[in-house]
């Protein structure tokens, strides 16, 4: 069973390790630590083990932006990313959520589409020959913003 909550500082080493498994180093450890301290990081545990995390900010034109979504390679295709995004939609500080992924990341495109996100645009030249595709979802306007 997935358990998603705000991260606490004791999660830092686990989250940094997950990030390093995926990108090959711990260069974002300080960024992850700052997000935890600012309560902008959600953690997903699966059967008592931390297997993924989501970092967001609200500096994208004052709207929520999921800037980092990481799942341990050993826990992929088990609904971890879906659980993180679903929980974020509940706690999002804004009614509009944006995120992005490389054009080549077909798994993320499928996930965004299945969750009701729509393409909002693209940015070229971040990664050569692999545009960044921006996704958007409007949450129920009647929900109370946390």
Judge whether 115 lies within some domain: yes
Question: What average pLDDT does range 76-103 have in this prediction?
Answer: 96
- Tens digit of pLDDT for each residue in 55-72? 999 999 999 999 999 999
Judge whether 22 lies within some domain: yes
Please state, as a whole number, how many other Cβ atoms lie within 10 Å of the Cβ of residue 70. Answer: 23
Helix and strand element counts for the chain (H, E): 4, 7
Judge whether 143 lies within some domain: no
Judge whether 15 lies within some domain: yes
Between 71 and 145, where is the model more confident? 71
For tokens 């700052």, the residue is 34
Judge whether 76 lies within some domain: yes
CATH code, domain carrying 18: 3.40.630.30
Residue 21, SS3 per DSSP: helix
Crossing angle of helices 29-37 and 12-23, rounded to 10°: 140
Judge whether 146 lies within some domain: no
- Tens digit of pLDDT for each residue in 99-133? 999 999 999 999 999 999 999 999 999 999 999 99
Judge whether 145 lies within some domain: no
Domain extent, residue 49, equals: 2-138
Judge whether 121 lies within some domain: yes
Contact 57/66 with Cβ under 8 angstroms?
Answer: no
State the total domains in the chain.
1
pLDDT of residue 60: 95
């Amino acid at each position: 069973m997935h358990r998603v909550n705000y991260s606490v500082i004791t999660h830092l080493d686990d989250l940094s390790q997950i990030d390093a498994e995926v990108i090959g180093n711990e260069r974002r450890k300080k960024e992850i630590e700052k997000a935890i301290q600012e309560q902008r990081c959600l953690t997903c545990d699966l059967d008592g083990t931390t297997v993924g995390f989501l970092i967001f900010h609200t500096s994208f034109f004052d709207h929520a932006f999921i800037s980092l979504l990481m799942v341990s390679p050993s826990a992929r295709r088990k609904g971890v990313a879906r659980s993180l995004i679903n929980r974020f939609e509940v706690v999002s500080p804004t009614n509009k959520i944006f995120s992005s992924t490389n054009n080549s990341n077909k798994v993320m495109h499928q996930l965004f589409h299945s969750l009701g996100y729509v393409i909002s645009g693209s940015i070229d030249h971040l990664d050569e020959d692999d545009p960044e595709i921006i996704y958007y979802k409007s949450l129920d306007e009647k929900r109370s913003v946390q």
